Every structure is written in structure tokens, then in C-alpha cells.
Homo-oligomer: A and B are copies of this chain.
Amino acid sequence: MTDLLAAHRDRLDAALTAIRSRGYHSAFPESPSPRVYGETAAADGQAAFEAHLGTAYAVETPGARGTVVTEESPFGIKLDVSYPRTVEAGLDELLEASRKGLTAWRNAGVDGRTGVVLEILDRLHKRVFELANAVQHTSGQAFVMAFQAGGAHALDRALEAVAYAHEEMSRYPAEALWEKPAKGDPIRMQKNFTVTGRGVALVIGCNTFPTWNSWPGLFASLVTGNAVVVKPHPLAVLPLAITVEVCREVLGEAGLDPNLVTLAVEKAGDGLAKPLATRPEVKLIDFTGGSEFGDWLEQNATQASVFTEKAGVNAVIIDSTDAFKALTGNLAFTLALYSGQMCTTTQNLFIPAGGIETDEGHKSFEEVGAGIAGAMGKLLGDDARAVEILGGIVNHAVISRLELAGEYGEVVLESREIKHPAFPDAVVRTPLLVALEAKDSDVYGRECFGPVSFLVKTADTKESIELFRQTVTEGGAMTAGIYSTDAGVLDQAREAALDSGVALSENLTGPVFVNQSAAFSDFHGTGANPAANSTYTDGAYVASRFRVIQSRRHA
């Protein structure tokens, strides 16, 4: 296992350097180009993905009862992959098997475990095209996005989490000599410090980002000495089944118990997460999903350290700009990407009723809306290009919300149904833009997940900032933005962002978007507002995943 670390030492060291400086870093190339990955990589990956379709996935889960098929592709293709079905009655067996390898895993030591996990990431990278297809057809992300967000970027985030965990575990020496001055000889004690995992970690995956949102917690828990039970969203199992398969393969090859990582697939409606999350063996939980269940976990799974990413009301304040066209282009892309189904997509755009000053002269509230709508029209005008940005609608609940949202105010831009040229049964929609009044906080103060954004008409930027502060403090946010040419306004926005605990993007007009966070540099979520109780990735995200146990004796 030490050999495994040696093989990946450079990758680890570069990641450790990156988290210290938080400048640009990437270990896994984000371009799916044949020039990077080779001529046959894309086709091979697709073939590997297609080979899963209609089969029983070859992964064993202790305590499982029969199999279950749960996925439906947003692109309309038939997946029909069956998985072992975990039910409440099988949890004793699952958790007993899960814990069986813990002592050997602890004894593998910090470097041994780090080597194993880095090898897992490397193997996942070798299957990145297969994973991208699996992410695409479960989440609805278009292929390139699935490759990046679901593959390369997810690997970078996972590596970032492993780097933090490795650094955290390495803060404590393995041994120490304690010499206390005393009359005559000093008093000498020899001490040993051992990193031990907490027990079983549970990862509860989500539908939209099955890998990106699961891997940081999964690998942070694994590398710190825990066993991990992975419970995917019923609609997005395959990417995590592949993940678990790779984990088990590497663990087995290293002479460790493959059951240190297990896959617990439930049938939608089985309600497996609650009994699983409150089991005394479960000491760590990572969850991405709705606020209702996230809050429930925080309040009820009190035997565990719980890391949640939930809903929020992401906001952008528009005060003024010296690049109006670029502003509208930047926002249009943000709202359109993956049909606004990112936890980081802007929902609320606060714009003064009197309009804003721009490089193109004064723009009224309506002209700002029209500008964004126009940019959206240009971006999504060509169906073949549009589907590669929009992807598919992840599930039926999104469509229901979209259908209702037009009623909330004045429709500035209608949502449009698009036929996918390659997947006739895909469900594709463009974003809806609705203008609201400042008083409509019962609408914009709650998350309306999907391709729906609100242009909120405020008295002035002062009110915009106040509403931003209020909605984020109460409803949470994963992202926030401000457009202003006024240094004083920018300062006020920064202060409001610090007070409400959200990261702020200022005047984004180029190829960086408020809904994107770069691994190793941008923190994803803050843990300082109701949208998430932790961040990807900092010390707090990893430090409580293990404990240090000492022994001492006279030296």
C-alpha cells in the first residue's frame, strides 16, 4: 500500500501545495478531446457504459434482498440496470460486514490509506468516459458537462478532499518524546498517536450530481479510516455503482476487505435513508438534497457528524456595469447551463425599478430583463447547440414547478420545449424568466429548483442588498453575485455577503460563472448559511472524520 502512495506521491504533493495557495490547480484534464485522452477513449467509454444497460450490475452488497431497477434517463433511453436491493431488514448484516475490515484499515496507517484512495481516483479516471455517460444518462447533464462536472472536476474535488484529510491526519506526529525538566533527570515519556476512523460513514447521493456531490465526502471518510456505505439517489445509481466497484476492486487487491465500501440501493419510496442514518454504527453522514431531509438528518442523526448541502435562494444584485452585453451573456449562460438545475444556479436577480447605468447608457428594469432574455435567445437559438448546454430535465418534479412558475408574476421570457436531435424522448426546456415585485418574498424567498429565475424589482440597490442579505440569511444560498461599477456598493455587497455567510462573485463578464466553483481554489458552499452546514473542502470538512488515540509509557 505504501507503494500505491509512492506511485501517486506527485499528485498528492501538488494537491497539498494547491490547497495552501488556493490558486489554479487541476490534476485531471477537463477536456474530453481525443488529443488529451486518445482517439478511442470516447468510443470505448460509451461502449463500456452501454454494456451495463439491461444487465444486473456485478456488485455484491451484504444483506441485500433481491435486486431492483430504479433509474430513468432524462434523455429517454432505456437503462434497465438492476442492482442488489438493500432493505431495512438487511441493515444488521450490511453494517456488520461494513465494520469487519475497520481494524485492518486503521492499521494500514495514514500513508497506506492515502495510497489506496489515490489509486481508486486513478482507476476512476481511467473510466472517466464510462462515468460521463453514466452521469449524463442519470442526471440529464449534456455529455461535455457530465464529463467535466461528473468526471474530471469531481475527481479534482475528491482529490482536494483527500489532500485536506491527509494534511489533517499528518498534523499529529506518529510518536513523540516528552521530556519534562525536573530536579535531577528529566521525566521522560514515550508517546504514540494513532489516527482511527469514527466507524461507518454514510453517503447519500443526489440525482443531479451523483459523483461530484458524493465523492468528496466518500473519499474524505474513507481515507480517514472509516467504512463507507453509499446510498445513491434511486434515479442516479450507475455512476455510484461504478464508483463502489472500483473502490472494492482496489481494496481487494490491497488485501483489504472490499466491504469497507458498499452500495446500498433502495427502491424509490422504501425510505431506507432514515433507518440507515440513525443506526448507532453510523458516525458520519454526507448528504446532498432537499432542505427538508437535510434538516431532518441534522436534527435526528445526532449520533453522527452530519455534512449537508441543501436548498438555497442564490442571488445576483445588478447595480450598474461597464459591460452590459458581457453581463447579459454571462448571466444567460449561468441560467441556461443544465437548465438551471445546479444548486449554484442564480434564482433571484435583484434590479432597481429605476434601472441601471451601463456602458450602453441607462437601461430600464425592463431593458435589463430584455437584455438577459435576448442573450438567452442568442445562446439557445440553435437547438443542436442548445441541448449541449441545457441537457435534459432531471425528473418530473422539475417540470411541475416550471409549469407553475409562470403564474407567479410577469413572464419576461417563456420556457421553450426543445426536441433533442439525438434523443427523441429527451425532456429539454429553456429557462423561464419571471419579473416579481420586492414584496413577493413568499415566492422568491423559497427555492424553485429548475429552469426558473426571478427578476426582482427593488426600490434601489440599497433595497437589493437588504433583500439579498435577508433572503440568504433566512433561505440560504450556495452562490451570490454583484454587478456594480461603484466601489462603495461593492464594499456594501461584500459586507452583506460576509454577514449572511455566502461567497460573492463580482462583475463576472468573462468565461467564469457564478454557478461554477473551481476545485482547490473556490470553496463550494460555506457552512455559514442555511443552504449547507459545511463546505467543499476545508479543515472542518475533514477534521471530525477521525480521532487520534494515544498511548504513553516511561521512556
Contacts and interface: CB of A to CB of B under 8 A. Distances in A.
Interface of A: 19-24, 103, 106, 168, 171-173, 176-182, 186-187, 189, 191, 193-194, 196, 198, 298-299, 302, 494-495, 497-499, 501-512, 518, 521-523, 526-528, 535, 538-540, 543-544, 547-554
Nearest to A506: B553
Given A299-B302, A509-B554, A554-B510, A497 B549 contact: yes
Contacts of A506: 551-553
B543 A526 contact: no
B511 A526 contact: no
B106 A196 contact: no
A521 B24 CA distance: 37
Contacts of A540: 543-544, 547
A553 B518 CA distance: 13
A63 to B, nearest CB: 23
A528 B547 contact: yes
A521 B191 contact: yes
A551 B497 CA distance: 9
A551 B503 contact: yes
B550 A523 contact: yes
Contacts of A196: 498, 501, 528
B191 A522 contact: yes
A521 B554 contact: no
A532 B191 CA distance: 21
B518 A23 contact: no
A19 B181 CA distance: 18
Contact of A176 (B21, B103, B178, B507): B21
Contacts of A198: 528
Contact of A526 (B22, B498, B508, B548): B548
Contact of A499 (B103, B176, B302): B103
Given A21-B176, A539-B543, A187 B549 contact: no
Contacts of A512: 187, 189, 552, 554
Q: Which 3 A-B pairs have the closest CB atoms?
A: A506-B553, A540-B543, A528-B547
Nearest to A509: B554
Given A168-B539, A554-B510, A527 B547 contact: yes
Contacts of A182: 511
